[in-house]
Structure 1
Amino acid sequence: MSDHAVSRRTVVSGVAGAAALSLLPRRASADSPPNVVFIMTDDHATHAVSAYGSAINDTPNIDRIAREGIRFDNAFCTNSICTPSRAAILTGTYSHVNGVTTLDTPFDATQSAFPALLQAAGYQTALFGKWHLGHGGLHDPRGFDHWAVLQGQGPYVNPQLITPEGRVSHTGYTTDIITDVALDWLDRRDPSRPFCLLVHQKAPHRPWRPDEAHGDMYEDAIPQPATLRDDYAGRSAAAAAARMGVARDLTATDLKEPVPDGLSSDEELDWKYQRYMEDYLRCVASVDDNVGRLLDHLDAQGLTDDTLVIYTSDQGFFLGDHGWFDKRFMYEPSLRMPLLVRYPRRIAPGSASDAIVLNIDYAQTLLDLAGIPDTAVPQRMQGRSLTPLFGGHTPKGWRRSMYYRYWMHDDSAHHVRAHYGVRTERHKLIFYYGEGLGVPGASDRVFPPEWELFDLHNDPDELHNVHDHPAYAPVQAGLERELARLQRLYGDEPAPAQAA
């Protein structure tokens, strides 16, 4: 691959020049397939989006999507870690079906995924930003007319983007650059055909490096979660064993400055939490500004009414909740994903849905809206189109529970133990099966299996494990049956420890 130096100034001037061509947009009818702008960030927690009631920041541009569309209040990922979640979104399948169970299992991009199906249906398709599914051979993006992606996580500043023609070096802040190249492509597309544009930001992934424009935000004390000083009493040993604590496990790279001398352990936790959250929220602010750029560009090109806009993240994130950063666990801050959708032709402004929706639903939703018949949708897809929820009502027969599985057992950095579970509208049952089962990236250490059961109405912070509590015996038995049903439904094998 060759290297080419390209400055942000060059890219922006290219955008401006192309926009001056005044391309006439495709005028779609109510029945025409929509354009798609799919914005996905990395590790953006729902509770750091003001449309979801954030107490710590404002996201006015992301909120605009919710205000002009629908907010999904119970959107969940099926494996809360970057690479597996992205594979699930593309293919509409669980990790054990698409083969991407951990960070160490690259994606076979030749398998069925929604971009290639849209491309075959006449869509122009493009991907810019984070891919994180492997590179070279079977692993590079497929089903895209144009793509330019980061190597792995990519840096926050001066990134190289891998393209089919070679590596292209850019100068500037990565969040801005990904948006620049996306807008440039929008201006150069064929205006007579529908398009699907994936804008996948690396932010706000660790190590949370903000740009200068947002570098002085959030210097006042940021409210702390009630569980910042969680002691994990009464829960599984897996919770206490995890190594992703704000107090203990943030590195010098994460903090970016030394801990002040003379602090007590409690004061040090306060300081580290503030340092972590300042930079995390500053990265989110940059993302929000760039979402605004995309929305404004659609307005300027007359594309708003005919374009489906999705804002989501690959999973949730702990923002000091339970004393942690990172994700992986089936606990709510990690499990929940923001999902905001705007499509003026089908969705009334200010809508909301409390139906249980999953990241495996995204693919079939896009195929449905594109008018691709069920007979042409791969039978291996395991999600459901979300279009019946666009009116804000949950139709009869919609799922009442969801299945989750985290595979990367006791990994060398975070030491979160493998587990699976079921969540209903009120309860959550989690089984830590205590072994890696030979999965790449998992450790070979074995731990005693453990169960957790939470009543999310009475215990929304998941502090009180009521597994084997006599009062919850009927609930527990019902959840065990539902867990087995979902494993059969999705074709996942229970761990040997469960059968034992």
Structure 2
Amino acid sequence: MKLFPFLAASALTVGSVFAQQTRPNVIFIFSDDHTHQTISAYGSKLARTPNIDRIANEGAILYNNIVTNSICGPSRATLLTGKFSHQNGYKLNEKKFDTNQPVFPEKLQENGYQTAWIGKMHLNALPNGFDYLNVLPGHGHYYGSDFVNSKSDTVRYPGYVTNVITDLSLDWLTKRDQSKPFFLVVGHKATHREWYPDVQDLGAYDNVTFPLPSTFYDTYEGREAAAKQDMTIDKTMRLKEDLKVHADYDTKGRWSTFARMSPEEKKAFKAYYEGKVSKEFDAKNLSGKALVEWKFQRYLKDYLSTANSLDRNIGKLLDYLDKSGLAKNTVVIYASDQGFYMGEHGWFDKRFIYEESLKTPFVIRYPGVVKPGTKVNQIVSNIDWAPTVLNITGSKIPAEIQGESFLPLLKGEKAPWRKEAYYHYYEFPQPHHVYPHFGVRSEQFTLVHFYGEINTWELFDLKKDPQQLHNLYGQKGYEKITAELKDKLRKLMVQYKDQEALEILGKN
């Protein structure tokens, strides 16, 4: 039976709109310094994260998702470009992202997607590829933070930043062009230093005593770079600024978080940190190991209390998707910019190629495509995030992107995949005196070279020594695997066009 011409045209229009609407939306929730050791979906006993766990349980969880450069801004630049730091030019924090280079959301726009980034971006520039931007300048603040929008206007929003970012995201979702599929990055400040919890989460873990990591008193034998860093809870973590012991609640100026709080918020903070935490600190009169272990407990209490709001707000976003009917056709991703130390090796912060800072959480829910409870154990890198989103949305993957789509892994398909991944960290000496280094991470081994003011190699067997305490480089019996990994390292440098690293490697 033939349709009349106007009916045929009408059917085509409806069909094209239907096809457009059935293309999946994507929400990429991107936190800061939130490590897998504190997520219950990854087996953590430190805290419960029911909403992040929900994404994992209803979709897939990646167990070997690693970064190319374990630091905040460069990780975001890699997300946007699908390239290593030496290719996108953003090697260090606090630099300015080159907005003249291509970013993958531009391909989404070409494919009819409406795009937005709300919250923390930390690139010191507003990149192309977004129809709407409302981002924190730099790291932003936990209370009363400023936001810079697409018009470069700066607006200060009262309240706790995690809640504000979620509210702004929900507002954008309700007001967006509903004829188009969308891509939204929800960029959270949490759980970045100095770990200011939401008022309602103050003291959330006060009744918990956390076990010391078995490596807390690591002596760093055979690991010169690890011995010479400046990121220990003992010596680097500050009582006043980080742990709020006798904090100065009357400081003024744009950088003061307390100056941005409402009177009620400041009153609650002062009552808790001055009336309880500082009072306890004074009464104990601690020193030596007792002091550093008290600092460890306070660090975890503040960090995890800050993470409470992060998970709660993820739940608020998931509830909105359910109630609005968007959940069935929206891919939800949760990831962090890199891992973080929860006292392992006596540290906080990140930067090293070692597992705690190299690996970052990544869970994804894709209804009807990724089976609930899917587990991915292959090595995935953050250069792979951009091409995977492009693949999911049916958008073109540019040839210059250095990563690959891991959608086949998510779908459980047997597809060829890499056995090793490349890493290169640059920022030295400030702020934590971690020497620049590059390396290769395979399924069983990590080989790393620290360069600059030192010239050392390290080799770890991750199966026998998952905590990476025993440097096997140069030891008898490991000559063959060392040579194989050095050869692979060189090939990866050539593949990813890291000429600077190749020149350094050629001298060793």
Helix, strand or coil at the partner of 2:439: strand
Determine the structure 2 residue equivalent to 1:483: 489
Determine the structure 1 residue equivalent to 2:70: 80
Determine the structure 2 residue equivalent to 1:103: 93
| 8 A contact 2:121–2:136 mirrored in 1 | yes
Determine the structure 1 residue equivalent to 2:145: 159
| 8 A contact 2:21–2:180 mirrored in 1 | no
Q: 1:209 to 1:31 in 2, by over 3 A?
A: closer
Distance 1:484 1:321 in 2: 30
Distance 1:292 1:245 in 2: 33
Q: Percent identity?
A: 45
Determine the structure 2 residue equivalent to 1:499: 506
Deviation at 1:291, TM superposition (A): 0.3
Q: Give the number of aligned pairs.
A: 453
* Correspondence 1:52-63 to 2 at 5 A: 52-63=42-53
Determine the structure 2 residue equivalent to 1:397: 416
Distance 1:227 1:392 in 2: 36
Determine the structure 1 residue equivalent to 2:136: 150
Distance 1:201 1:471 in 2: 46
Match of 1:266 among 289, 304, 322: 289
Determine the structure 1 residue equivalent to 2:252: none
Helix, strand or coil at the partner of 1:255: coil
Determine the structure 1 residue equivalent to 2:341: 318
Deviation at 1:274, TM superposition (A): 0.6
TM-score by length of 2: 0.87
Deviation at 1:262, TM superposition (A): 3.0
| 8 A contact 1:87–1:98 mirrored in 2 | yes
Determine the structure 2 residue equivalent to 1:427: 445
Give per-residue Cα distances to partners, 1:355-410, cap 9 Å, x unaligned: 1101111110111111124xxx32210001111011245x3420000000001122
Distance 1:301 1:31 in 2: 14
| 8 A contact 1:433–1:498 mirrored in 2 | no
| 8 A contact 2:493–2:502 mirrored in 1 | no
Deviation at 1:189, TM superposition (A): 1.1
Determine the structure 2 residue equivalent to 1:122: 112
Range moving further from structure 2, 171-180 or 256-265: 256-265
Pairing 1:372–2:379 present: no
Determine the structure 1 residue equivalent to 2:251: none
Distance 1:243 1:485 in 2: 32
For structure 2, the residue ranges without an aligned partner over 5 or more in a row are 1-15, 246-277
| 8 A contact 1:99–1:105 mirrored in 2 | no
What letter corresponds to residue 176 of structure 2 in structure 1? R
Q: Which has the larger radius of gyration?
A: 2
Pairing 1:473–2:491 present: no
Distance 2:217 2:454 in 1: 26
Give per-residue Cα distances to partners, 1:288-332, cap 9 Å, x unaligned: 000000000000110111001000000010111111000000000
Pairing 1:141–2:127 present: yes
Distance 2:423 2:363 in 1: 21
| 8 A contact 1:203–1:284 mirrored in 2 | yes
| 8 A contact 1:27–1:306 mirrored in 2 | no
| 8 A contact 2:408–2:415 mirrored in 1 | no
Pairing 1:92–2:85 present: no
Q: 1:140 to 1:248 in 2, by over 3 A?
A: same
| 8 A contact 2:118–2:133 mirrored in 1 | yes
Distance 1:29 1:308 in 2: 16
Distance 2:449 2:144 in 1: 43
Helix, strand or coil at the partner of 1:471: coil
Pairing 1:307–2:316 present: no
Match of 2:161 among 149, 161, 174: 174
Determine the structure 1 residue equivalent to 2:455: 449
Helix, strand or coil at the partner of 2:128: coil
Deviation at 1:105, TM superposition (A): 2.9
Pairing 1:224–2:212 present: yes
What letter corresponds to residue 231 of structure 1 in structure 2? T
For structure 1, the residue ranges without an aligned partner over 5 or more in a row are 1-25, 435-446
| 8 A contact 2:20–2:181 mirrored in 1 | no
Distance 1:306 1:273 in 2: 43
